[in-house]
Chains A and B, each alone.
Chain A
Amino acid sequence: ETGVTQTPRHLVMGMTNKKSLKCEQHLGHNAMYWYKQSAKKPLELMFVYNFKEQTENNSVPSRFSPECPNSSHLFLHLHTLQPEDSALYLCASSHDPGQGFWAFFGQGTRLTVV
């Protein structure tokens, strides 16, 4: 247990559904991240929040919408997804960016789009 909790662990949704992924950390970290992990591909950074402000959006389709209400919580809102969006979605957090602190990861949400 690294202190980063993601819910749900598994999610199956239809292409017309709307769902949200939740990430929570109480490690006192300032930065939070969403990554997408697909088989045989490097982890893809999706979004970065630093002190609740989005500092990175790596050309992610608008059907993924992040929300960071405070430094401890991060959401990923999903709507009208495609089957190719099926993947493991990992949340991570770290201390101040640029200081060399490593990221702590959650256990991920296994998303299946049908």
Chain B
Amino acid sequence: AQTVTQSQPEMSVQEAETVTLSCTYDTSESNYYLFWYKQPPSRQMILVIRQEAYKQQNATENRFSVNFQKAAKSFSLKISDSQLGDTAMYFCAFMKLTIRNQFYFGTGTSLTVIP
């Protein structure tokens, strides 16, 4: 079974500062995808960034970047120049590449950006 662990239930960051959200996962698969999703108060889960396990290069998407450590099974999200609109729940998710499309989610980290 796959498990995803987010050890930080709540975090806060000053506007314009940088924050890192941690995520670890457990799997015996060698090829898989990792995702960070954002859920603002509107409740809609929005994809923030995606990482393929076979790629060594860390994914980046504007102010969002990841630190993917495959051997350590770690997948942290760094948000640079934090903005008030970044306030949301952030979920780390794992998907293995099988015909059965299963996403496994962590419990989430509630991020508050302080003005």
**B-binding residues in A (CB < 8 A):** 1-2, 31, 33, 40-43, 45, 48, 50, 55-56, 88, 90, 92, 94, 97-100, 102-108, 110
Contact = CB atoms under 8 A, between A and B. Distances in A.
Given A42-B104, A42-B105, A48-B102, A100 B97 contact: yes
B62 interface: no
Contact of A31 (B37, B52, B91, B101): B101
Interface string B84-101: 000000010001011111
A105 B44 contact: yes
B106 to A, nearest CB: 6
A52 to B, nearest CB: 14
Interface in B15-37: 33, 35, 37
7 contacts: A2-B44, A48-B102, A55-B99, A56-B102, A97-B101, A98-B101, A107-B44
A90 B101 contact: no
A92 B46 CA distance: 11
Given A90-B45, A100-B52, A108-B44, A43 B102 contact: no
A110 B47 CA distance: 21
B63 to A, nearest CB: 19
Contacts of A45: 102-103
The 4 A-B residue pairs with the shortest CB-CB distance, nearest first, are A97-B101, A105-B45, A43-B105, A107-B44
Contact of A48 (B9, B50, B100, B106): B100
Given A50-B99, A94-B101, A102-B95, 14 more contacts: A2-B44, A40-B9, A42-B107, A48-B102, A56-B100, A56-B102, A88-B43, A92-B103, A98-B98, A98-B101, A100-B97, A106-B44, A107-B43, A108-B44
